[in-house]
A and B are shown apart, each in its own frame.
Chain A
Amino acid sequence: MKKIKIALVGNPNSGKTTLFNDLTGSNQYVGNWPGVTVEKKEGRLRMTGKPGREKWPQVIIVDLPGIYSLSPYTMEEVITRDFLVLERPDVILNIVDASNLERNLYLTSQLMECGIPMVIALNMMDVVKKSGDIVNPDRLSAALGCPVVETSAVKGDGSMQAALAAVRQVKFSPPAPLKFGETVESTLGMIGHVLKNKVANEVLKRWYSIKLFERDEKVREQLALSQSDLDKIENFIKVCEAELDDDSESIITNERYERVTSIAAESLQRNLNKLSASDKIDRIVTNRWLALPIFAAVMFIVYYISVSSVGTIVTDWMNETLFGSWITGGVSSLLESVGAAGWLQSLIVDGIIGGVGAVLGFVPQMMILFFFLSFLEDCGYMARVAFIMDRIFRKLGLSGKSFIPMLISSGCGVPGIMASRTIESEKDRKMTIMVTTFIPCGAKLPIIALIAGAMFPGSSWWVAPSMYFLGILMVILSGIILKKTPLFSGEPSPFVMELPQYHMPAAKNLFLHIWERGRAFIVKAGTVIFVASGLIWFLSNFGWNLRMVDQDESILASIGHFITPMFSPLGFGDWRAAVATVTGLAAKENVVSTLSVLLGVSEGAESTPALLASVAGMFSMVSAYAFMVFNMLCAPCVAAIGAIHREMGSVKWTLIAVGYQTALAYIISLLIYQFGRVLFLGHTVSAGTIAAIAAALILIWLVVRPDSNKKIKPPQKATS
């Protein structure tokens, strides 16, 4: 049976995702487009309850990224046009926000050039009716030359009709592209003539001609034209530009908007004297004086419910009751009753259930958090967050929306990293993922409490705040350093962003989103963590002779011994501190428990006096602080590394992130120990001090050096 592929294309905030969820339900597959962190969604059209559905062909819907144009400048736009032009779906279902007709039809005018049959889903008809505007779908259909179906995706009205219209439209011819002015048309004709041997498809020839007229680098590369052909085309463009006194890209854009404005004027009657509900809300929410307090209040509520109160209760229950006693107890007694070997019991109970359980414990908390985040995103508030916070964050090469992942990370880095998904620009997103775990998470607090209690008894009030302050400082420092590196080269993504109208999110969208994110975490991160916790269990319980030994004779301990010298310049060249740092990779809480095991304090916690005394004997004030700083900033736990891998979508970027974090941790600890030793403990200047001065100078240079990415002049139309 033949398959039909529908491409779902539309502006961001046009209700595209709602429509997609409506049409496919849970028959979705979510992945990434190859090589980038842009989400790819595909699903099968639900046919349940439709008579005669056996005879229907299988219908696959591809949800393309929300875009405003088919320009070559953003990842999302390039993905969409490559999909349309190279993979040739059978039909385009273009979602048009009827309450925002002109800008939406601008994209439509470009889609009409792809030579693919098209149906328009005229969405948000409920909003239009409420605002008193009148849209005439028949006139629109006549002007564009393709069927128009009215929908209200939030209510589920018309969605299926739109999909069925698209399926029917497969047999019909594509809409005729809009005609530009005479001068432009004749230039396009001449370019098309040059292409006659290159592009066989007549319809696509026009698309390629327009792109060449716009001097689109991507298309030039794709067509691999000879230099003489390129020169010819360049001449045509120059003549046209001289005649119309503008650059070619502007000429095309202007002409498109002119056509679209007149089409919109024919089919839309605007009710002019209105102040929409959205305007009224924004009078308060983005008000000069109220915006920041409201933002703080919203963040407090989200944080309080999902991290401090409900989230912690559920996570603690999962960790202590469900995994800690029910499952562990049940499995232990089961294993005992069948007489399993001691090592197997230990592997399953301590290694796997302990490790995976610690991670799964986060899942309910994450789901609560994602409920709030997707609510804020869907209702339109997240765009306002970017508007309010942009000024602070853009200096660091981050987005205004980066605030949210960082706030969440002060609870737990894992959902923090995953919350970066709402940031549009790939660069901002990657940068946010790299820096967000510098903010101390809940699991790092016992380390702080231990060092503060052991080394600074009586006057430890400043230790914890200093760690948060250091975390924020590292985010700022990293922003400045990283945005100048070739990793984040290319033009800064322009911040020209729509503030969509507020609306009540569809409950179905929220739950699908939460379900999908939760599942992604459990599956993707879970596999990494499953393997990692098994491995760490093995390393900390077995010696090189592959027999079970005590932790201080294990492979992990000998790795600790081996890497100990590396930590000497940081002041904690004690193998126990080194091993504790390594076990912190499994979970940061382990740093305290490992130290207590290795120091021979049974059942030691961060406030046990015997442990505090032993720790106080291990460190000086300065080396203890350096130890703490290193553990705060270095590679996060495996769960967070798993989340980084999931969000970055590449091993290379995961290694870059973790490598950068560890290197920065090393340098900062080095500075603290070496300078602190001389300044506070009165030690003499040594080779280490000189190394620290050198490191400090390099760090200062990285911060103040000119931005190498700024030297590249804009005409290179880089997309990443």
Chain B
Amino acid sequence: MRSLRDMQCGKSAVVVRLAGEGALKRRIMDMGITKGTNITVRKVAPLGDPLEVTVRGYELTIRKADAENIIVE
């Protein structure tokens, strides 16, 4: 079990669970990161945070702290 935060650039994984609750969790799901979704880490911002990921065919940016809530395998 590891989170999106621990993934290397260029690697893909499947979302297995979303931790957290409330607005943030809902927002992450609304943007298409749901159970079983394929997610690819594209790059890290020049200052080291946030991340850029590809999900459902589009580019999304998410902070590392929030990416911890996305459990992948």
Is B31 a contact of A288 with CB atoms below 8 Å?
no
Is B31 a contact of A289 with CB atoms below 8 Å?
no
A-B contact pairs, 6 of them (CB 8 A): A101-B57, A249-B25, A249-B29, A286-B52, A501-B59, A717-B22
Is B18 a contact of A499 with CB atoms below 8 Å?
no
Is A250 a contact of B22 with CB atoms below 8 Å?
no
Is A68 a contact of B30 with CB atoms below 8 Å?
yes
Is A499 a contact of B63 with CB atoms below 8 Å?
no
**19 more A-B residue pairs beyond the given contacts A392-B47, A496-B27, A499-B58, with a C-beta to C-beta distance below 8 A:** A73-B27, A100-B56, A103-B32, A106-B30, A250-B29, A282-B52, A286-B45, A286-B52, A387-B45, A388-B47, A391-B47, A494-B23, A498-B60, A498-B61, A499-B59, A501-B58, A714-B22, A715-B22, A717-B23
Contact with B along A56-75 (1 / 0, CB 8 A): 00000000000011010110
Is A73 a contact of B35 with CB atoms below 8 Å?
no
Residue B26 interfacial (CB < 8 Å): yes
Residues of A within 8 A of B22 (CB): 73, 491, 714-715, 717
Shortest CB–CB separation between residue B60 and chain A, in angstroms? 6
Is A390 a contact of B50 with CB atoms below 8 Å?
yes
Residues of A near any B CB (own CB < 8 A) = 68-69, 71, 73-74, 100-103, 106, 247, 249-250, 253-254, 257, 270, 278, 282, 286-289, 291-292, 383, 386-392, 394, 491, 493-501, 714-715, 717
Residue B62 interfacial (CB < 8 Å): yes
Please tell me which one of the listed residues A73, A254, A289, A292 contacts residue B34 in the complex, with CB atoms under 8 A apart.
A254
Residues of A within 8 A of B63 (CB): 390, 394, 495
Closest A residue by C-beta to B20:
A714
Beta-carbon contacts under 8 Å, B27-70 to A: 27-32, 34-35, 37, 43-50, 52, 56-63, 66
Docked CA distance A74–B23 (Å): 9
Is B34 a contact of A387 with CB atoms below 8 Å?
no
Residues of B within 8 A of A717 (CB): 22-23
A253-B46 contact given A494-B23, A499-B52, CB 8 Å threshold: no
Docked CA distance A375–B50 (Å): 24
Closest B residue by C-beta to A490:
B23
Residues of B near any A CB (own CB < 8 A) = 18, 20-32, 34-35, 37, 43-50, 52, 56-63, 66
Residues of A within 8 A of B35 (CB): 250, 254
Shortest CB–CB separation between residue B22 and chain A, in angstroms? 4
Docked CA distance A396–B26 (Å): 24
A390-B23 contact given A497-B61, A499-B52, CB 8 Å threshold: no
Shortest CB–CB separation between residue A225 and chain B, in angstroms? 22
Docked CA distance A495–B22 (Å): 14
Docked CA distance A258–B46 (Å): 35
Shortest CB–CB separation between residue B66 and chain A, in angstroms? 6
Docked CA distance A253–B47 (Å): 33
The 6 closest A-B pairs by CB, nearest first: A714-B22, A69-B30, A499-B59, A73-B23, A391-B47, A253-B29
Docked CA distance A388–B24 (Å): 21
Docked CA distance A68–B58 (Å): 14
* Interface-centre pick from B28, B50, B61 (highest chain A CB count, 10 A): B61
Is A391 a contact of B31 with CB atoms below 8 Å?
no
Residues of B within 8 A of A106 (CB): 30, 32
Shortest CB–CB separation between residue B64 and chain A, in angstroms? 10
Docked CA distance A397–B41 (Å): 26
Is A100 a contact of B57 with CB atoms below 8 Å?
yes
Closest B residue by C-beta to A256:
B34
Closest B residue by C-beta to A495:
B63
A390-B45 contact given A250-B18, A253-B26, A495-B61, CB 8 Å threshold: yes
Docked CA distance A501–B52 (Å): 13
Is B30 a contact of A71 with CB atoms below 8 Å?
yes
Is A494 a contact of B24 with CB atoms below 8 Å?
yes
Residues of B within 8 A of A101 (CB): 57
Is B27 a contact of A494 with CB atoms below 8 Å?
yes
Residues of B within 8 A of A278 (CB): 59
Docked CA distance A288–B44 (Å): 8
Is A714 a contact of B28 with CB atoms below 8 Å?
no
Please tell me which one of the listed residues A289, A389, A394, A491 contacts residue B23 in the complex, with CB atoms under 8 A apart.
A491
Residues of B within 8 A of A288 (CB): 43-44, 46
Docked CA distance A235–B63 (Å): 36
Closest A residue by C-beta to B22:
A714
Docked CA distance A289–B62 (Å): 20
Is B30 a contact of A497 with CB atoms below 8 Å?
no
Docked CA distance A200–B45 (Å): 51
Closest A residue by C-beta to B37:
A257
Residues of B within 8 A of A68 (CB): 30-31
Docked CA distance A106–B49 (Å): 28
